[in-house]
Amino acid sequence: MTARPAKLIENTVYAALLLGLWCMVSVAPSWSGVVLLALAFWAFGLTVL
């Protein structure tokens, strides 16, 4: 089991989520909550599966 590549991928995914959230908040605040939840569950599924 190699934990280092998984951690790098996980950190990259979370960084992308933060960037996406920032863009969504600045562009469309009404959609930011829904998009954040969808991306969070998707990223969580990627890191777990």
- Is 33's pLDDT higher than 60? yes
pLDDT at 48: 67
Using 50, 70 and 90 to split pLDDT, how confident is the model at 3?
low
Q: What pLDDT is recorded for position 9?
A: 82
Residue ranges of domains in the chain: 5-48
Between 45 and 12, the more confident residue is 12
Q: What angle do CA 15, 20, 25 make, to 5 degrees?
A: 130
pLDDT recorded at residue 36? 74
Give CA torsion, residues 9, 38, 22, 16, to 10 deg: 10
pLDDT greater than 80 at residue 11:
yes
